[in-house]
Every structure is written in structure tokens, then in C-alpha cells.
Structure 1
Amino acid sequence: MNDLDKDHALTSDSLLELTDDERIALVVERIETKFLDYDGYDFSRHQILALNIFFELSQEVRGREMFYAVCMAIPKALFGLESTMYLLEDEETFALAACSSGKCDRDSTRPWNEFMNDRLTIQGESMYLPIRGNPEYNDMLAFEPPHNLLGSFVMRPCSGLPGHARLFLEKYVNRVGYQLHHRIIRARNREHIAFIKSMVQDIGHNVIVPNMYFKLYFNRLKRKIEQLHLTTTAILTELNRNANRDLVREGNRLAEIAGGIEGQYQEIYSHYESTSMFLETLLRRRHFEEGRYVLEKRDVNLRTTVIDPVIERFRHRFEEQRIHLALAPECPEDRVIRLALDRGLISQVLDNLLSNALKYTERTSVPEGGKEKHATYGWKVLDDFFGPGKSGIRLWITSSGGPLDLNEPMDVFKPGFRADNVAHKSGTGRGLYFVRQVVELHGGRVFYAHTDQGNEFSFVLPFEQA
């Protein structure tokens, strides 16, 4: 195993499964191996200092050109070598990046050949050293680098260099590759952030603002429906006065159609309101600027502002699936609970939990006999949940069905997790992770348990009031 393979082994995803003691032991082992490696290299004091100086200067300088200058200055200071650096601009082409002499008179691009490849190669006075990256982060580059190669470092004159110096330069270029790789990633991240900021402005202009016009169209449609009801009532009044049964029957049918249109309007408008709120909440500009969910808390009536609108939006869908959805009997409907929270994000938390209940609820036996699908929801104030004098608000949704196949209850809230016994259902495993993120951002906690009523997902928010 070469140096790069060993370093890659230290960054593998499999290390995430190790305990803290195992990780420390592994790193200590690698340090001891490095000591032995450097003893075997037998680098001179100046060469060791050169590596240290390179690391320090590469952290100090800003800009790609200054970094190239540092990379080429080390071989020049130690061995009097001039350098040229080529980087892969795509899978097939090496493009000239920089040269130490200030006279970049060589070809600006080169193809893969017997010199520009993944092996140390010498041609006359020139030594070609492959610049390798960190394979752990290849997926963050613009393309998958062939042979894990970022480019080629060409040095000259090298015909008189002893093999020991060549070994040092090879190890040195390996370290250049890792530093270069991180700089490329940072540059791409900066471009990515700039793009996101631009995209957020476009979203505001091209999505959020046009979406607001739908409310105007809905208001116009509502007025038309009201006019339809008035006209229908007037027609029915006149028809009843004339006592024409056939026409009265058609008038009543017209009234039913008008009522049906109004019902469809109310359902569509309810979905529009929730979708608009979700769009504006998820695409909130500060989320993208700060790289995390940013709360905008407001003092709200928990039941009327958050719970009831979400429940009513799902009620018809539960009925279609023949799932009996009910408020838990211990919840007083007339109690007013006001607290400060981000209405849009917490509404989406409830939306995710109800979506899961709709998807995963199963038929189970009921005391009255037979089997049915049922779900319950509710809320409760928990005194001193977060400490003395720090109450919490618990919200839960329970749906009938067998327990999830989990090693630990909190596994279900991990990103991308799908329990084996429900993996056949459609889903990404992101919904419950989103729930956990939002609840914990509010200072709350999430829970899963299987009870005699079924699978219960709950969360507790601090009883925070404005």
C-alpha cells in the first residue's frame, strides 16, 4: 500500500462505524508508520524543513497563481530546478497552468502520452511527476479524474539528480496534489455558493412573486362563484314560482354543481395556501445565505394556526384510504395554546408525519371485532420537561401497524434510513431527518415508539412564548 492508499484508508466512510478509541488507535498506528516511513526515506534536514515550509506557505497564500508559485519555488530553492505545471481540464487534455521561468513557451495543452501519464517518467533533462489527488473527494470535482490524476509536474534539468532526490520530489508532488485538490474543491464551492445566491434571487423573482398573483386569481374566482350562487338562487326562486317541475329539477342540479365547484375551490385554495407557505419557507433567502435552516418565529395559536389546517388538508386523503383519523380523546379542543415557533417549518414537520401515516398505516384488529386502519393525533403540555420551570408541548401522530425493524428507535430519524420491513414502500428516507432537523433547531426533541395503538412519532417543543 502506497502513501496515498494509506491516507485514503484513513478517510474511508467505514471509519464512521468505529468507536472513538478505535479511531484514536488507528491514527496512532498510522503516525507510527509515518515515523518509520520517514526514517526509511532518510530525507535531509533541509528537505524536511522544505515540506514544513510548503505546508505553511500553502496555507498563507491566497489565489491559485500564488499557490503555483509556492509549489514551484520549493524545487527551485532546494535543487535549482525549473518547473512547469499542467492540470487536467478534462479526462483527455492536460492544460498549462504555470511555469517557474516566466517563459511559458511550451505547448499550452498536451494529450495523454508516454510522458504525461500516471507514472514518474524521465525524458532527457525533464522529469514528469503525476500530480495525484485525494480519492476520497473525487466526487466533488467537475469530472472523475482518470487514475486519480489532477495533472503533471514537470521539472528540469533532472539528468544529474540522484535517486534519493527523485524520491523526495515524488513525495513532495504527492503533497502538492492533496493541497491542490482541496483548493480546487474550495474554488468550486465558492462558485457553487455564488450560483445558489443568484438562484435564490431568481427564485424570488420567477417563482415566489408570480405565485403571489395566484391569490389575485383565486379572489376573482371566488367572486365569480359567489355570483354563480346568487344567480342560481334567483333562477330557482323564479322556477319555483312558475312550478315547472322539470325546470326546477334542472335548477336544483345547477345549485348542486355550483356547490360542488365551491367545494373544489375551497380544497384547491387550501392546498395553494399550504404550498405557498412551504415554498416561501423552504426557499427562504436566509437558508441559502447562511447554509442552514433559519427560523422565523412568530407567536401563534398552535391548534388553529398550525395543527387544524394541516389536519384538514389531509382528512380527505385519509378518508380515501379508509383510515379513521381522530383527535386523541385526552386533548381538549377548546384549550388555547400560544407559543413562538416557525409556523412554516413546523407545519411541514406535521405534514411529513401525516404523509408517513397515510403511507404506512396497516389494518389491525379492533375491540369491536374485525380489522381497520386508524390514526390519532394530539398535543399535551408537559410541565418541567426541559428542566424546572421549562415546560414543553408534545405533539404526536400514532398509526396502526406493526413495529418498525430498528436496532435503535432514533435510527429512523437518520438521513436516508429506511426500515427493512417498510423498504418496499416508496420514499427517500429524508422526511423524518427533516423532522428531526427542524425540531432540534427549535430546541426540541423527536421520539419514536411502538405502543398498543401502533407506531407513534412525536416531538416536544419548548413552551416558548413571545
Structure 2
Amino acid sequence: MAAGKKSSSLREFERICRRVEEKSASYDRYNFSSRYNDFLKAFFDLAQEFDSLDDFYRICVAVPLKMTGFVSRLYLISDSSSRLELVCDSRRGVLKPPEPAREPIHLSSIPYETSDSYLIPIYAKVPLGRSEDVLDVNGGNGQRQTSLWGDSGGAGGWSRILGMYEVKPLARMDESDRFFFQKYTNRIGFNLHNRLIALQNIDHLKFINTLVMDIEHNVIVPNMYFRHLFNQLRKRIGELDDLKDEGRRLACDGTGSKAVDEEACERWLAHCDRVKRDFLACQQELVKHHANISLFLESLFRREHFERGHLVLRPRRCFVEKEIIGPQLEHYASRLRAARVTVEKPRNMLEEEFQVLVDVGLLAQVYANLFSNAAKYTREVVNHEGHPRKAMAYGRELVDDFPEPGKKGIKFNVFTTGPHLPEDEQKRLFQDGMRGRDSKGIPGTGHGLSFIRHVIELHGGTVGYEPTPEGNNFYFILPVPSTIPPTDLVDAVR
């Protein structure tokens, strides 16, 4: 076995040695001038020196400009629109935002010329099978031909095209210049691919860390409620033993000399009914809590989240009051009652006549966080009539010019009584890990409002806080679906 492993290792080492020899031979064939050798050295040195992606874009166009005087432009395929965009050029640097490529610039799998430019595709890796694409680098005398892609038979394979690299002016370029910039573009592709993969991995790690906090805050902590329900169930099971003992005492002793106490039997039957109701209530609570946790698990553990490295929405049309707020309010009802928080329901949401396009699982967690905070932080105040009030209220209202002038948005509010938050806390309220001065001794991680902001912004909305008479209002605004006629919308929120 050891000899076999050694043989396999030697074969792999010999394969690498062959590639070194092939590279050495290729460099002899390329016969780059000292100027171009210095060009590549500068590119590789600077690519290692600067870390950011924008700096790498600048290096790609700055090296040709300073080393050879050629003007260049870097075009990349947009992840969001899949179109070719100009991201950097040697006159303006990095473009924010990128500009769509203009004719005659277009995506191509092979180099091509325009009236004044030479354009080369940027591949993540050099594609295999390109040996038929050859250039005569000696101006047509046939003395030396080489693959358009250089050493296309290496270990790398065909991969996705990342964009196009433009060099100008064309009139200054001979065939050796064209060949060199093909090789240079290959190096851009290799480096860019590796940087994108590294950034993607970093984003994935950040997302996983955030997702772990989401799971802990929205799933693991609420899941502890199951322990309470199971303890309640254990108590009810203990009552069954008491019922059994009581039934034995009431039963005839078998001699026929003891009559049944009818009044005691009635009490016993009432006790049975009470235990049955308690069992049913506990079972229903378990079912609701299981459904809630299952909804949260489904929305946080989707395969798309991990494939793309960020939360991916699965929006559908729903009635927010009926399908989201109601179930979450019912779920937190016992905790709000225990905190002596009165829930004030609005009239304008009870008969809502339109649906909103949202991810039900994620928006349910938004309300779960808001109601959980209400149970923990609502404080009693004296209202304008001089009466004590400790309450939570929710509702909605129509807002104009959201997310842009002429559009409509819906503002969803959750109000709680209590003193206003300090101004310095208001500014940091939706930042991750933010906890107020009045949160000492209250369980929490400071992640809930940050999660709310993230989910609402994914929906194209915004979040906010505003001090109001007698308390604090936490809100979020979502765009109104374009399919809802304005007249229906006004009637629905009136």
C-alpha cells in the first residue's frame, strides 16, 4: 500500500515537472521583450501588493498605460443584469456605477477588432481545445505559430467568461503586441477569478455567521419554549395518577355495602373534564409552536441561502394581518399577558382587501421579533386622560412617494408604551448587537432589530423608529404591489 502511494505521488510530481518544462519552452517561444517582461513583473507584484477588487481593476489598466502607453478598458459581466459593463478605464479609473458597454463593444469568445481597438475575452481559466486558433506572430512569414491561448492543454479547463479587455489605439499594435495582450488578459482572468472566489468565500462566511445568529435568535431561543410546554404536559400526566387514586376511593369496595357518593362522583367527573381541557390546550400550544418553528426553519435553512451566500426571498402574495400578524400575535399572547401588556388591535386591518408580495416565513420572523421585544420592553405610562396604560398596538397606513416619487408604500407600525429612547440609541437602534441601557437583566442578543432591517431591505423596504405620545413606534415600509389599483388601495387602508 505504501509503495502504491509513493508511486502515485511520484507520478503527480512528474506531471508537474513536465508542465514546468512546457512552460519554459513556451516562454522561449514567446520571446517577450524586456519591456514586456517588466510589464508582467509589475502586474504580478502590484496584484500581490493591493488587496481590494477596485485596486485590482485599476492595476489592470494602469500597467499598460504606464509601461507601454496603450489605453485600455476593463469590461465585466454584471452579476445582477448579466450584461457587459465598463467597470474601469485608464482615463477615468473605476466607474461608480459601471456603464453599459456601447456598440461596437460586445461579448465574444474570441478576440476581435473595432475601428480603433483590439478586444480580448477574459476567461476565468484558459479554455481547452483552442489549439486550432493560431496566430502567425511573425507577421505572416510562417516561421512560428502558436496557440491563441498559449498552453491550452494544461490542467485548467474551460470555465466561464468574465468579460472583455479593450486595448487601443489599434494602429500602434503589431501582431506581437496583440499576442502579448492575449497572454496578459489571461493573467487578468486568472487573478480576477481567484479574487472573486476569495471574496465569495468571505461573503459566504459572513453570511453563515449572520445566519447562525438568526437561527440562535429566532429558532433556538424560542425553541426553549418547548421545555415549558413539556413541563406543563408532565404536570397534567401527574394529575392522571391523582384521578386514578380518586376514582378508586369513590368506587365500591366490592362487598356491596358501600354506596357511591354521587356528589363526589360529579366533582371527580368535573376534574376529568378540566384535565382533558388542559391536555387539549397544551397539545394545541405544542402544535402551534411546532408550526411556527417549522416555518422559521424552512425560511432560514433554504438551499438557495447557502448556494448564493445571502438570504434569498421566496415571495408570495398574502394577507399580512391574517397570515402573518395574527398567528404571531397568538403565539406571543401568553407572554404578553404574563407581562400585563394589553394588545390594541386596529380596525383598518381586520377587513383588508388586498395582498402584499412578501416572503411569509421571513416577515413572520420580523413580527416575532417585534412582539417579543414588546413583551420584554413595554412599560406603563399615564395616558392623556390620567389613566395607567401598558399596551402594544399595531396597524398600517399608506405613505406617498415610496420608494420613489409617484409610488405608494405601506407603513406597518408596532407601537409600545414607555419612555422614549435616548437620541444616541435611536441612531444605532438597527445595528447588530445594539442593546439599550434599559436592557440590563433582560435576556437578548441585540440581533433582532438588525435582522428586521436586513429582511425588510431585501424586500425593497426601509425600517425606522419614531418617538410618539406615550411611547415608541417601530415601523417598516414596503412598496405597494404595482398590480393593486390606487382606488382599491385607498379604500383598503381607509
Query: Under a length normalisation based on structure 2, what TM-score does the superposition of the two structures give?
Result: 0.46
**Structure whose residues are more often helix by fraction:** 1
Query: Under a length normalisation based on structure 1, what TM-score does the superposition of the two structures give?
Result: 0.49
